[in-house]
Structure 1
Amino acid sequence: MTDPTQGIRLTDPTLQALAVRDLTKIYGGQPAADSINLDIPRGALYGIVGPNGAGKTTMLSMATGLVRPTRGTAWVAGANVWEDPLRAKRAMGLLADGLPIFDRLTGRELLSYVGALRGLDETVVQERSMELLDALGLADAGAKRIVDYSAGMTKKILLAQALLHNPEVLILDEPLEAVDPVSGRLIQEILRNFTAAGGTVVLSSHVMELVEGLCDHVAIINQGRVVVAGHVNDIRRGRSLTDVFVDVVGGAALGEGSLSWLGGRDEPGEDKRR
């Protein structure tokens, strides 16, 4: 089956790690996501990219059950997100940008709480928490309240809670934002190992170099629609992903004389409007 509006080949959504059909969200009469169809295969390290306001976060929020769509359906690991939400949520690990955090807990307390919600054995939670905190460079911050974490540390503890129950599908919204380069490299290694062991990673990012170097599949979203999707090499065709992205979504350029005053130094009393 092929989506005639987007030229993307679609298969049985219940066989995919994550699939959406006709996913649409309308705010104030305007679509933030517009009839999105997408298949993300099991075992993929899948990047979702697009300009600011393109609909990436809206699409992922609907696909994970955080926002109810105006219309359309989503599946995670074969489970319909809105008809069988418990099964879908058991299968996913989620790092969503902007959600409330229990930041009065320490890092270890948050992982213990999440582990209990997931129904994990307490001993398993303790062992996995120690490993995750150590791997992510948070071992010394485990007893510290999250409200006192830096932005990068907060991002890492949220990744730890998403990984704790070893989900089938890991869904990450801007996972490396505010993370230092050393930690960023470690996180990329964790994600590669996760998919090599059979898991699936879906991540959104604004950083083309990250997606190009890390992901094997990519979808470009623009104006609420998927305009390109497939294997990274098939989409690049020998070019950089950044060049493809600019061609697809359209580049911007400064008009002649625009911001020409920047860098200049006006003399005292000079009319700056001239």
Structure 2
Amino acid sequence: MIILNNVTKDFAGKKKAIDTLNLTIPDGKIVGFLGPNGAGKSTTIKMITGILPIDDGSITLNGHNIETNPIEAKKIFGYVPDQPDMFLRLKGMEYLNFVGDIFDIPVEVRKERIATLTKKFNIDHALGDYIQTYSHGMRQKIIVTGVLLHDPDIWILDEPLTGLDPKSAYLLKEMMRDHANKGNTVFFSSHGLEVVEQLCDEVAIINKGQLLFYGTLEEMRQTYQSDQSLEQVFLELTNDE
């Protein structure tokens, strides 16, 4: 479970990027995080993961405060950033072993998980190559593999399907569903509203740093007395005019 309590983030000389955000992401659910460009999605995710400091309020992950107890909090989540261009001078296997070392994954367990995940994502043949030689989609796959390697309870995914081929995208969506069905938490941002509508149990919509809606699609239709698609409701909610 992820709990954001009155979270605020200011950037000097600008309006509040995140303004008193309260949001609870429960266990056993896939929650989609939606908003137009500049709405505060990535800023929120970077505060949840401890990349950005919180100016006010608090964030806990399964009871661990990301600021006061960061090591314990970071042990229980996996994070896929919106750009997979990281650790480019490492070979694929070097990167995965680096992740395995950080999380103290036993060697035999690590070998089995690496073999299984990389075969599923069809990158097992490229583990001896440098990540900088990978295509965008392959970089996304190696990052996702690294995230899943320590089997975290909480998945935090920022545009995780970008660059994936249809087969890999389908596989990741199936894995997200299975992870949530086991009672774990999946929180992901996406611009693909059809994917969110198809996959998510609940959606959170943010604009200008403020939460506009959180709930199921059915609750959204009841709230706005509309039978419109998620795309149509989203466009109406985030219309600045």
Contact 2:16–2:209 (CA<8 Å) still a contact in 1?
Answer: yes
The separation in 2 between residues aligned to 1:251 and 1:81, in whole angstroms, is 33
Residues 76-118 of structure 1 show CA distances to partners (whole Å, capped at 9, x for unaligned) of 1111111111111011011122476211122222111101100
Identity across aligned pairs (percent)?
38
The separation in 1 between residues aligned to 2:2 and 2:150, in whole angstroms, is 18
Q: What residue in structure 1 maps to residue 151 of structure 2?
A: 166
Q: What residue in structure 2 maps to residue 26 of structure 1?
A: 10
**What TM-score, normalized to structure 2?**
0.94
Task: Please show how residues 248-259 of structure 1 align to structure 2 within 5 Å.
Answer: 248-250=237-239
**What TM-score, normalized to structure 1?**
0.83
Q: What residue in structure 2 maps to residue 241 of structure 1?
A: 230
Which portions of structure 1, spanning 4 or more consecutive aligned residues, are displaced by more than 4 angstroms? none
Choose 238-247 or 42-51, whichever is displaced more: 238-247
Residue number among 140, 144, 151 corresponding to 1:155 in the alignment: 140
Residues 33-76 of structure 1 show CA distances to partners (whole Å, capped at 9, x for unaligned) of 11111000111101000000000000110111110011111011
Contact 1:116–1:122 (CA<8 Å) still a contact in 2?
Answer: no
Residue number among 140, 149, 163 corresponding to 2:125 in the alignment: 140
Residues 216-249 of structure 1 show CA distances to partners (whole Å, capped at 9, x for unaligned) of 1110000111110012322245431101101111
Letter in 2 for 1:27: F
CA RMSD of aligned residues (A): 1.5
How many equivalent residue pairs? 236
Residues 183-238 of structure 1 show CA distances to partners (whole Å, capped at 9, x for unaligned) of 11111111111112222110001110011111111100001111100123222454
Contact 1:112–1:126 (CA<8 Å) still a contact in 2?
Answer: no
Q: What residue in structure 1 maps to residue 86 of structure 2?
A: 101
The separation in 2 between residues aligned to 1:25 and 1:166, in whole angstroms, is 30
Contact 1:46–1:217 (CA<8 Å) still a contact in 2?
Answer: yes
Contact 2:3–2:60 (CA<8 Å) still a contact in 1?
Answer: yes
> Is residue 202 from structure 1 mapped to residue 187 from structure 2 by the alignment?
yes
> Is residue 215 from structure 1 mapped to residue 200 from structure 2 by the alignment?
yes
Q: What residue in structure 2 maps to residue 182 of structure 1?
A: 167
Q: Is there any run of 5+ residues in structure 2 with no aligned partner, and where?
A: none
Q: Is there any run of 5+ residues in structure 1 with no aligned partner, and where?
A: 1-16, 253-274
Task: Kindly indicate whether structure 1 or structure 2 has the higher relative contact order, using CA contacts under 8 Å at least 6 residues apart.
Answer: 2
